[in-house]
A and B are shown apart, each in its own frame.
Chain A
Amino acid sequence: MIRDPKDLQRYTPQERANHWVVGISFILLALSGLAFFHPAFYPLSYLFGGGTWARILHPYIGVFMAFFFVLMFLRFRMLNVMTKTDKEWLSRVGEMVDGDDHNMPEQGKYNGGQKAMFWASVVCMVLLLVSGVLIWQAQFSPPIGLVRLGAVVHAVAAVAMIALILIHAYAAIWVKGTIRAMWYGTVTRAWAKQHHRAWYREVTGK
């Protein structure tokens, strides 16, 4: 549906589908993984048909997510290269969090915070995949020292990833007019000019 022909395309249908395949996998992984993280969350395993089913499914969903995460990484990696402006933006992130972003440095398609989020989640995903393979006892049996290390790394990276994604989701909710970019692909011109002025100029020529 085209709400306003002047709206700007931010994500293609393929990019959106890719994002949500990863997003849904992540939610399933977080819920089933938390079940084994602490007894307080064990009841979450019933969403997957019980503890044993959660244990069986979790690693397969993980491999599935990792595959689509790699695709997403390939799509967006060039857009997330850190620049000097991004670093300046990050150093002044306090002003942004405080709710006043009018004096923030001009941003391209992604701001420094989004780029930092991108790279942090790439690191987490790599750690989760490698450590996850180490502790996937149904498929692999590496030396016990590596399994123990893998269990700690998996837990730490998972907590970091959950916190990152919470921030990612909140940022999208907080900055009005953002979520539609991932729903149906477009944003308003005013949104683009306020939040990503350099990108606005690039796509509109104004």
Chain B
Amino acid sequence: MALQSLDIKQRSATTTPAPSVRQTTEVAKLIDVSACIGCKACQAACMEWNDIRDEVGINTGVYDNPVDLTAKSWTVMRFAEVEEGGRLQWLIRKDGCMHCADPGCLKACPAPGAIVQYANGVVDFHQENCIGCGYCVTGCPFNVPRISKDDGKAYKCSLCSDRVAVGQAPACAKACPTGAIQYGSKSDMKDYAAKRIADLNERGFAKAGLYDPAGVGGTHVMYVLHHADRPQLYNGLPADPGISPLVSLWKGFAKPLASLAIGAVALGSLFHYVMKGPNEVSKDMEKEVEKETEQ
């Protein structure tokens, strides 16, 4: 609820255009996985700024803590141990909402205004409009939204939309001690990534690259990956994410057509009645049966 309505680009379950007179700069967060040391300062900053404390979990034998994203943990460091060229590589990915340009959650959401996309690219959940159906979960190609067991509402990273709205960097970017999380305009972030990738290429990571998947129209959280050819190495980051065709079918052109078909059946019935008249018992039949019954 940080930005005003003038900055809304898309609104869930809304079929008319959003206010669009004002154009704002597209922003992005760049996560340089090659510079991440897995300190979890971003996780701590996230819970600090958003003032949310998750329940204390359990240790499952790996560094991931909490084990998964939850309604109260909007970002999680995922640690993958991968053997590459006879060397162990520790690939640490900060997981959370990718803020897709074409957000599957927003597309799937049936509640007007429960999910919005701001003109700067941030995708935000407005919990006061959320009905808790979980459709956003089916729409998301990255498995990010979580439904709270306490209140039945959906939660995820807001890209600190309240901070971003007043020109501040997201809390995680502010807290990162190695500069692995950068924040700025999307084009600046791409320039910064290009430099990092060139550096990684020189240092033996020939396949280093930027993760800004076209299948979801690009994202407003991007990764610099040492192995951009195999994003799955990073705890199953999808290589070619996209909104499931089932969701597109379910939320696409089929629904207006089906609504029209239902209307046509109802109207067709009315006009059938008007044009053919009711199907009544004929007078002859009444007489015939009367005679029969008297016998």
Contacts and interface: CB of A to CB of B under 8 A. Distances in A.
Contacts of A166: 262, 265-266, 269
A148 B138 contact: yes
Contact of A193 (B134, B262, B273, B288): B288
Contacts of B134: 135, 137-138, 147
B15 interface: yes
Interface string B214-242: 00000000000000000000000000000
B175 interface: no
Interface in A7-42: 35-42
B246 interface: yes
B284 to A, nearest CB: 9
A192 to B, nearest CB: 8
B133 A36 contact: yes
Given A167-B265, A176-B278, A194-B282, A149 B246 contact: yes
Contacts of A144: 137-138, 143
Contacts of A162: 262
Contacts of B254: 155
Instruction: Give the dominant DSSP class at A's interface.
Output: helix
Interface residues of A, number: 50
A178 to B, nearest CB: 9
Contacts of B143: 144
Interface string A85-127: 0000000000001110110000000000000000000000000
A151 B111 CA distance: 16
Contacts of B258: 37, 155-156, 159
Nearest to B281: A190
B66 interface: no
Given A37-B259, A101-B279, A194-B285, A55 B133 contact: yes
Given A39-B13, A41-B259, A52-B132, 15 more contacts: A37-B110, A37-B255, A39-B112, A42-B13, A45-B131, A51-B129, A51-B131, A52-B130, A144-B137, A151-B246, A163-B265, A167-B265, A174-B278, A176-B281, A190-B285
Interface of A: 6, 35-42, 45, 50-52, 54-56, 97-99, 101-102, 135, 137-138, 144, 147-149, 151-152, 155-156, 159, 162-163, 166-167, 170, 173-177, 188-191, 193-194, 206
27 contacts: A6-B293, A38-B256, A38-B259, A39-B13, A39-B112, A40-B15, A45-B131, A52-B131, A56-B132, A99-B276, A99-B279, A135-B134, A147-B134, A151-B138, A152-B249, A152-B250, A155-B254, A162-B262, A163-B261, A163-B265, A174-B269, A174-B273, A177-B281, A190-B290, A191-B281, A193-B285, A194-B285
